[in-house]
Each structure stands twice: as C-alpha cells, then as structure tokens.
Structure 1
C-alpha cells in the first residue's frame, strides 16, 4: 500500500464495515520510520472520529529502568509495560460509554504523563503506533486479539537513520551520541522489528 490517501481510505472502509463497532488500528515500524508523523496525518484526516494512543506512553519510568538495570537500552521490548498497553487497548476496543484515559510520552523529559490522553466514546477508530505491535512474543503477541488491522511502515534505511539521528540531536544528544545510540540500541531494536514485519496485514510506504 502506498500513500496517505490509500491508508486513510482503507481505515475508513474497515470502520464502515464494522457497522458502528469501534476498531483499533496499529501502525508499526522501526525507530525513525515515521510512525508518529503518519499517525498524526491520519488523525488530522479523520478528525474527531479517531483518537491516538501511542505505544510510547507505556515506557517504564527511568526510576524503574535503573532498578532493573535496563536504562542503557531504553526502548527495547522489555523496557515497556507491554501488558498494560494490551489491557488499555482492550478497554479502548470495548467502546463503552466511559472515556478511556491513556499515558503520553514526553520526549523532552523522557518520561510519561499518566492519563494525559482521553479516548472519548464517540471515537469510532482508535489509532496506535509503535515499534513492537507485530512482535510474536508474550505479552506483545496479545495485541493480535485487541487490534483489527496493523500496518508495517516501510522506509529506506538511509532515510530512516538520517531522521533518527536528527531526532536524537533535537532532543539533546550530541551528534556523536545520537549516531552511537542510533547504530547501537536503536539498530538492535530495528532488526527485531524487521523480523516481525511479515505479521502485518499490509506493508505501507508513505
């Protein structure tokens, strides 16, 4: 699948086929692939009929990562509250009468704010984006049952790396630190994500 128009049309068709039931849509991809940008563009197109719940809100706090000895590889699968993420998306998908609140990750401080995102009952599409939506290990693979469709965002590797380094620099790393992190922990995660891309319902190029 190529282009934002095709993606939005596919999501709208799936929402229409759901006949009033809420659907949960996932966009997966490696760090720097453009997931957040794509998700924001979809939300802009769908307006109030959609709500965005990013996976990044479920980062474990640095305090917990330090205690677990995982702070130096923040962003790896075991540095997230994956079970909490699955449970919250299950609540979203149930589409009851209550507002569902989700956490938001703030890059400027590298921490999450609890209950910062409101998913109103009126949202017929809940969009989520993140690295590990297609990972086939517990508890990540429980996302299979709480999402209706998942896309894997495919992008040229040189472009992805350039974006990723620029993002790290923008949020405070030196160019040397940004490149080292991008080619170290981020690259290890990117390989893991690429290995699970075949589990997507569709490949997406924007």
Structure 2
C-alpha cells in the first residue's frame, strides 16, 4: 500500500486520501458514503447529485447540496417531474447549484422516469437488483475499479427505463455511495460498517 492510500487522521482513524482533505469530505465519508440507501427519494437524490458531479469534484457537489435540495424540492420526484421551462430558467439563474442546462434537464427527465418505474417495482428494486454476488476487498486504491459488469448492466437498465446521465462509471460510483459494493479499503475504519456484506 502506498503512503497516500490511507491517511491516519488526528482522531486516529484511517481514511483514503480523498476523504481526508477537508472536514466536509471527512464527515461525508464517516457518516454517509457507503451506507445503504433503499428509498426512492434518497436514490433519486444520489442519482441526481452523481449527474451534477460529472466532470467536477465531489466536494463541489457536497458544498452545494443544500442548494440542490432547496432548488429541486428535496428531490421529491413527483414535484421535480412537474418542472417546466420556467423552472429550468430559474434553475439556470440559481447560484446555489451547478448551473448546467443538460444536467438540469437530465434530473427532470429522470424524475419522470422514476414515476414511470413505480408500475414496475420502483427505482429501489431496479437499482438493488444489480447488487453483485460477491464484494470487493481492496487493499489499495489501485485495486478499486471504476466500473463493473454490474454497473454496466445497471446503466443499460436505467437507460432502457428512460434515464440519462447514467453511464457505467457513474453507476459504479452510485453503487459505492449507497453500499451496494463496499470499496472501503480493508484497513479503513469504515470497512464493513454498511451491514450489507457480512
């Protein structure tokens, strides 16, 4: 393991370098990242934030998370699905979020796809049906892939259901964030805390 894979914080806890840089990232890593999310609204929020993160830093998205929640009605898919051109123009003027027309349009489109999925088991069933049969056991960051056969299958299933901004790399990041795969390094203090993998 390289000396930058895990950093021991002042609290004595081992975290990967990406999670050790700021208080915001440490808090996110310690309390949320990799914990199971199985409700529709929570999953819609994670999908939406992953879409906004594309090409940008996750810390930027986290800094604007409160703004995103206010702008997108706490990621209530029924309310977001009703957004029209007036709301899009207001969002493009909103300095509290990442102002990108394509990403805003994707979130609205995805909200409508979430509602359509309710007749077919729902978003949570679709996403969690792609949980891999076995978990990863990375000792180094280099051992963590950016995509997997399951994330590729999930991407295809979401696209078929009408979602956009859901490529296999984004889907793998989502799977990590919601605990479907545990990519905490083996010596991280968070390894195994999700309860998903025995």
TM range (shorter): under 0.3
TM-score (norm 1): 0.25
Higher strand proportion: 1
Q: Which has the higher contact order (CA 8 A, sep 6+)?
A: 1
